[in-house]
Structure 1
């Protein structure tokens, strides 16, 4: 039995319809089905042309209605104790599109309007989706002030057709693989003839760091995991204040996995709404971190997804915020789970030829992320830019580059980690008589070499030269794909530290203790390094990775404090960074993350996430 639910004030969002006389071009006889083909937020005769075949320039759009407007899907504490993948599947399957109830006016606002236009008919009609399309969408009809689900289709009475029936299309999923489903839905009306309209689901558009955050999210760990957390949180708040963000914009969620950037990637989906204002939904892509299960330290662990990712369901999903879970357990040996953490997934802002921007992530033949997740990304709106991050222990694109505002024709450029610059600064400091200045002063590091001691170490110099060559390889791709030039780049000093497989194994417990990578992930990488199936050596930031910070809007960039050598009381790496940014709209605010994040092979960006203004809410006009 289909459920009928009062449409309440939610009807307003679908009722901006102008019924005018049929134009001369309208076919005589039979009912006419229309959608918002011209994308102006209303449905009327102006939507007649081009309605049967969706095109980039013209065609109705619908949302994947996967948020939780009534917050009926929030898992209970008891449900969260079930760590199985079956429980994750249950959490992911619960959203507004999976029931036949209108979950309040916000839910109705996520429907795409359809109309049959008033015509002189004397028989009932049938409205329906294409074969198998009910997997991706559902039809609704408004009757006597209530919405009734038609599912894949149903009957419209002759009286409804003569008056003009108010219908709606509800999206039930996103495009996960454009080869399996292109995202289009065809709705057909048979009533004294046949008519149809084609709609397309809105793509998931990645956020970019030029857009201001509405909400910044970080963790609130238990005391045993909180070394350095108080300093981190206080300095992050200071940076947010400088960006004129209120205290309420920061949400600290109880979670011992401190790597909030790694557990979900925020995107937005939008469609034309009433009065020309787009209807926008945030959609969080849960990371595809999958652990195949097995015995560890004498105890068997079943297959599982990264537990921290459940915060997307338990704390963040709600009105206007949905969650997508996409992973496969059918993986080749080359899939490296660290690259599935969503710190590896960033977005380039819009530029000529790519008006919605492009996804950016790290992948190589030897170290790859989950192929079903990258297929989902590549099925949305643009081909991704892929760089080599296999030389990094963690392997994320956010470790070496960050998009920042710029005073150039496109309005943005890249901040780049530069080991050569760091060495050159140290060499000049020695020439100027400051060789006794200490690296990492004011931190908990046990070894704090002077500049002279560091430069006297040939291994240290060789490692940073090698790291610089790896960054060069990344930049060759980025400059080619974006059209940026070397002069556009903002280079900042970052030193790197190198590990061979034996050193990585020795560091495995420390890294795993922070949750940045798991011990099995470390063991898998070190084994492949030993067997020649991955790079023989891998790197991690030795001084804090300055580009690995958070853009807070208004040009404010919360960068990790590098704790570089001090010359006459001034941090050399900080002052150099501030000078490099002097020609940009960026104001850097330093965030103390050394103990809380840096020592775990991550930085400020890795420990935060943000829901931002959409890259472009009216993407159909791009």
Structure 2
């Protein structure tokens, strides 16, 4: 065991969370945790402590942050793509060792205490067999926190006075069929045996109704990747200013991979803290993007995880921010790595029957994400809503729908990409005598078809009807699961383009796009083999729902570059009309060259730390 002096802040915390000791000694062995969830461990926690339930039971945090910032990512780490390096980086956190990592580390412990009793012998405190992999016990002795590990001795003197203990979580629930998140702490003394059960806090996905405190994006690390970046970041900053976010709320991190939405998904975990205020930590779920060893242009590349995911360790992990990595290399043929990018993972806000909301992602039996990652997501707090995104080349749920605030009893609705509406706008333009208006004006596109040319292509019209039917299928699931009426949906114009496997060009979609060379090749192979749809789709005009919610109703939407009449973009106009009766305030962001041409939009190139969906989740 190692001893480490507790700082003043830890001592103050201990006095705040361990209260209510009786004036006389307890008649037998008694151990207490914060069973009634008021932030303290005292006699009021006695009832029901032996079995954790949703309504009553102590909670502990996964202590996976880096309070002392001791976990470093070196230049050598970044040069070495081996999976073993990623596993070592993921293993570094405050729960890795039996050391108090900085003065704030003990604040992540759940409080326990033994009640004073007269005894002349030592006692033991322990976790149930096998639970040491999920939690660690600590004892506070004269201002010093000491690790007991899975079990330890409490002296007779400590038992007479009443010992102050802490429980440190060492992991999250990864598969509730393997571990349901509970641990049992038992005190044994000559006077008897007593136990208390605690549960680790679930990882709750953020939802887009909550305001961000920090927005992150990439800053092109190579000049050739910077086309359109200045226009994009200028528009993003303008939208953030409209949402009253400060200049320093935006963090641009140098990175070759621009798809920050795709490399991690932020979640929060929380437990009752002193004075009734929840203690919240963030846990970033690194994407399960895994690339098997492969040959490319005569060179062999060994197995690796997505390199950009290491930014979660190198730039974002720190005090109250941890990282979880979950993936498997044992994948069936249906696993499509593009669906492992975390742009495919969103969160529906609270609604009837689901006070914490529900995860949302795209998957089918023929085209699915890493099953161990989806098991982790589904093991937290609610069954996910799963929609069919297999018809999309990228295959992410953020390509077609986005949560927005609404003036309805639920407080929110969905903005939906609607190809039929987009074609209706074009038909009305022709009817009004504006068929010669070009699409993509003001962009770097070499071919700018007119409205009449688009409408004269029956194959293109049928392709967009097919895309619309696929979106109908998604909406049938979403409206059924949420209870949304079709009239509540906010439909906005988006045109889609179709690709066959012969047309999928790895260079076009992956040089700066959301799909890597390996992912495109894999998709093409499975399309050839009939294991994926024979055609896939990407947004031809900017996918308007694929923007970023910035708080206060401000929505940073990608500029669609629809046809213009008298200087007015008809797609923008139709979107503004659709949102007229909502609290949404549109701010258009130019992302065409930087993101759209790579098969993504504003949402795909950003990520955010938002207010928790509900910090006091146990009261839900």
TM-score (norm 1): 0.98
Distance 1:537 1:140 in 2: 57
Distance 1:141 1:344 in 2: 43
Task: Give the CA deviation at 1:15.
Answer: 2.4
For residues 530-580 of structure 1, the C-alpha deviation after alignment (integer angstroms, 9 at most, x for no partner) is: 221111110000000000000000000000000000111100000110111
- SS of the residue aligned with 2:560? coil
For residues 184-222 of structure 1, the C-alpha deviation after alignment (integer angstroms, 9 at most, x for no partner) is: 010000012000100000000000000000100000112
For residues 199-246 of structure 1, the C-alpha deviation after alignment (integer angstroms, 9 at most, x for no partner) is: 000000000000000100000112111000000000000000000000
Distance 1:206 1:87 in 2: 27
For 1:571, the equivalent position in structure 2 comes to 569
- SS of the residue aligned with 2:531? coil
Matches within 5 A, 1:492-503: 492-503=492-503
Q: Is the 8 A contact 1:8 1:104 kept in 2?
A: no
For residues 333-376 of structure 1, the C-alpha deviation after alignment (integer angstroms, 9 at most, x for no partner) is: 00000000000000000011000000000000110000000000
For 1:94, the equivalent position in structure 2 comes to 92
For 1:481, the equivalent position in structure 2 comes to 481
1:621 and 2:606 equivalent? no
For 2:223, the equivalent position in structure 1 comes to 223
Task: Give the CA deviation at 1:123.
Answer: 1.4
Distance 1:22 1:580 in 2: 66
Matches within 5 A, 1:326-345: 326-345=326-345
- SS of the residue aligned with 2:37? coil
For residues 168-194 of structure 1, the C-alpha deviation after alignment (integer angstroms, 9 at most, x for no partner) is: 000000000000100001000001200
For 1:6, the equivalent position in structure 2 comes to 6
For 2:22, the equivalent position in structure 1 comes to 21
Q: Is the 8 A contact 2:3 2:144 kept in 1?
A: no
Distance 1:499 1:21 in 2: 73
Distance 1:485 1:257 in 2: 38
Q: Is the 8 A contact 2:335 2:368 kept in 1?
A: yes
Task: Give the CA deviation at 1:7.
Answer: 4.5
- SS of the residue aligned with 1:39? coil
Unmatched runs of 5 consecutive residues or more in structure 1:
none
Matches within 5 A, 1:199-348: 199-221=198-220, 222-348=222-348
Distance 2:93 2:173 in 1: 16
For 2:67, the equivalent position in structure 1 comes to 69
Q: Is the 8 A contact 1:290 1:303 kept in 2?
A: yes
Task: Give the CA deviation at 1:89.
Answer: 0.3
Moved over 3 A (4+): none
Q: Is the 8 A contact 1:7 1:108 kept in 2?
A: no
- SS of the residue aligned with 1:232? helix
Task: Give the CA deviation at 1:587.
Answer: 0.3
For residues 289-343 of structure 1, the C-alpha deviation after alignment (integer angstroms, 9 at most, x for no partner) is: 0001121111111110000000000000000100000000000000000000000
Q: Is the 8 A contact 2:9 2:104 kept in 1?
A: no
For 2:545, the equivalent position in structure 1 comes to 547
For 2:180, the equivalent position in structure 1 comes to 182
Task: Give the CA deviation at 1:529.
Answer: 1.2
Task: Give the CA deviation at 1:18.
Answer: 2.2
For residues 421-468 of structure 1, the C-alpha deviation after alignment (integer angstroms, 9 at most, x for no partner) is: 000011011111111111010001111011011101111111111100
For residues 114-140 of structure 1, the C-alpha deviation after alignment (integer angstroms, 9 at most, x for no partner) is: 011112222111000110111000000
1:147 and 2:145 equivalent? yes
- SS of the residue aligned with 1:514? coil
- SS of the residue aligned with 1:98? coil
Q: Is the 8 A contact 2:258 2:605 kept in 1?
A: yes
- SS of the residue aligned with 1:435? coil
For residues 491-537 of structure 1, the C-alpha deviation after alignment (integer angstroms, 9 at most, x for no partner) is: 00000000011111xx2212110142111211111121122111111
For residues 43-84 of structure 1, the C-alpha deviation after alignment (integer angstroms, 9 at most, x for no partner) is: 110000000000000000000000001100021222222210
Distance 1:521 1:78 in 2: 27
For 2:606, the equivalent position in structure 1 comes to 608
Distance 2:43 2:273 in 1: 17
For 1:465, the equivalent position in structure 2 comes to 465
Distance 1:180 1:416 in 2: 38
Matches within 5 A, 1:10-159: 10-16=10-16, 17-21=18-22, 29-159=27-157
